[in-house]
Structure 1
Amino acid sequence: MVSVDQILSITLACIVLIVVPGPSVMFIVGRALSYGRASALSTVAGNSLGVYTVAVLVACGVGLVLRESEAFLSALRIAGALVLIWLGYKAIRERKAIGPGLAGAGGTRDLALAARQGYWVGLTNPKALIVFAVILPQFVHPEAGHLTAQMLLLAIVPVAVGLCTDIVWALAATRARNWLSGSRRRNEAVGAVGGTLVMGLGVAMLVSNKA
């Protein structure tokens, strides 16, 4: 069974790795600036589910095979980059539809869409594959029991750490948005900044993949 020492060790390792902003954090901040708190938190929830899906794939052995495929990793980075570019462009295009004072607003359909987009970003985040396929196995001990069960249980730790830090980023970005968006013009500018941030991240991922 998973021990307390295993949990503490993986927690410390995850804090060091996850607190450094990656694609998911930048996307969540961009969503918060463009659409507000409710959308950002829905994105956080979807992203966490997408990240845990990566953990499940790795625990089942699929991720370990895919990790050895350079072509797959390259395709994963490109897919994630293209998704970010499209979502950033969409946020810029729709910025005029987001009026001031709507930071916490959002219909059920919009929030579900945000969650789905967050799920895809989490699923295609190369950082998640590194955490679960490279880092996490180092904390799995054969003598502690079923290896797949250990992986699935220990994977909850980085997902939980990421969930907490993502929520902090989302709320902080929302607070900045509320402070800046006192007028429609400023609100549109903030939305454009959020979309540009997401698009820029996607472009950076594409460039780094070609390098």
Structure 2
Amino acid sequence: MTDFTLYLPGILLAYAAFLLAIASPGPNILAVIGTSMSVGRTSGIALALGIATGSFTWAVMTVIGLSALLSQYAVALVVIKIFGGLYLLWLAYKSFKSAASNHDIEANELAGGTRTPLGYAKRGYIIQMTNPKAALAWIAIISLGLTDGAPHWVGMVIVLGTFMLSIIIHVLYAVAFSTPIMVRLYGKARRGIQGVLGAFFAYAGLRLLISRN
């Protein structure tokens, strides 16, 4: 129990970073929204599940890769946390820039015509796995929960927890945004949401840069 409480703050911070990262619709989320609106809720959910599975794959590969690296070079954790901190600060900049913009979100259907639910799931997985920014984001997220000498179960808890959150949030996007009114409601709150995201990413980035252990 003592070990769990020791690593719990970092785990929760990693969860929070992941949740807020997908609270700001990027290309993947916009694809889910657009598919739900133009094709249907079932297709949107299938695409969402594919994206969530791809996110899980990236998380597993990141944890395995970082664990292997840290087992050989303990000093690498400092470099990883510096990189992760800088990336989170870049996300903060992007969020603040979006908050200052009047540009509305643009949700469009995927190109290539309609597919079966399995086809949408496969497309979602491919989209996520071919997104180079996903690797950068997962390095930053995982590094928030890792400390020097952290046991392997910490990475497992982060991976499994974020996978469940990914399924829930992506499916909620598919269900909630299957009607145009939800896009309009989100558009009205978008700037405030982006401002909150920017503040959190700035805090998380500075936290990683200041505490490198």
TM, length-normalised to structure 1: 0.55
**Is residue 112 of structure 1 aligned with residue 106 of structure 2?**
no
Q: CA RMSD in A?
A: 4.7
Q: Distance in 2 between matches of 1:73 and 1:205?
A: 11
Answer yes or no: is the 8 Å Cα contact 1:54–1:123 preserved in 2. Answer: yes
Indicate conservation of the 8 Å contact 2:58/2:134, yes or no.
yes
Distance 2:49 2:105 in 1: 20
Q: What is the alpha-carbon distance in structure 1 between the residues aligned to residue 177 and residue 197 of structure 2?
A: 15
* Mapped contact 1:50–1:122 kept (Cα < 8 A): yes
Q: CA deviation at 1:27?
A: 0.6
CA contact (8 A) 2:91 2:198 kept: no
Residue 148 of structure 1 aligns with which residue? none
The whole-number CA distance in structure 1 between the counterparts of 2:140 and 2:13 is 19
Once residues 43 and 198 of structure 1 are traced to their aligned partners in structure 2, the CA distance between those partners, rounded to angstroms, is 21
1:46/1:199 Cα in 2 relative to 1: closer, same or farther (>3 Å)? farther
Unaligned regions of 5+ residues in structure 1, if any? 1-9, 139-154
1:57 is matched with 65
Partner SS for 2:15: coil
Equivalent in the alignment of 1:150:
none
Provide the residue aligned with 1:171 in structure 2: 171
Q: Kindly indicate whether the alpha-carbon contact (under 8 Å) linking 2:99 and 2:191 is maintained by their aligned counterparts in 1.
A: yes
Determine if the alignment matches structure 1 residue 86 to structure 2 residue 94.
yes
Is this contact kept in 1: 2:52–2:167, CA < 8 A? Answer: yes
User: Percent sequence identity over matched residues?
Assistant: 6
Question: Normalising by structure 2, what TM-score?
Answer: 0.54
> Alignment partner for residue 130 of structure 1, among 125, 143, 146?
146
CA contact (8 A) 1:24 1:125 kept: yes
Residues 49, 170 of structure 2: 8 Å contact kept: yes
Give 1:1-211 correspondences, 5 Å limit: 17=11, 21-31=15-25, 35=30, 37=33, 44-60=52-68, 62-64=69-71, 65-66=73-74, 69-83=77-91, 85-86=93-94, 89=97, 93=101, 95-98=103-106, 105-107=109-111, 112=127, 115-127=131-143, 130=146, 134-136=150-152, 159-172=159-172, 182=181, 186-209=185-208
| Contact persistence 1:177–1:190 (CA under 8 A) | no
Deviates more, 1:86-95 or 1:74-83: 86-95
- Amino acid paired to 1:125: I
Unaligned runs of 5+ in 2: 34-43, 113-122
Q: CA 1:194 to 1:182, structure 2 compared with 1: closer, same or farther past 3 Å? A: same
Distance 1:66 1:51, change over 3 A: farther
Distance 1:87 1:202, change over 3 A: same
**C-alpha distance in structure 1 between counterparts of 2:75 and 2:145, whole Å:** 8
**1:21 & 1:194 partners in 2: Cα distance?**
17
Q: String of CA shifts for 1:11-32, please: whole Å, max 9, x gaps.
A: xx99x94698321121112228
Indicate how the Cα distance of structure 1 residues 59 and 173 shifts in structure 2: closer, same or farther if over 3 A, else same.
same
- Secondary structure, in 3 states, of the residue corresponding to 1:56? helix
Are the equivalent residues in 1 in contact too, given 2:89–2:206 (CA < 8 A)?
Answer: no
Q: Are residues 42 and 116 of structure 1, via their aligned partners in 2, closer, same or farther at CA, if it must alter by over 3 Å?
A: farther
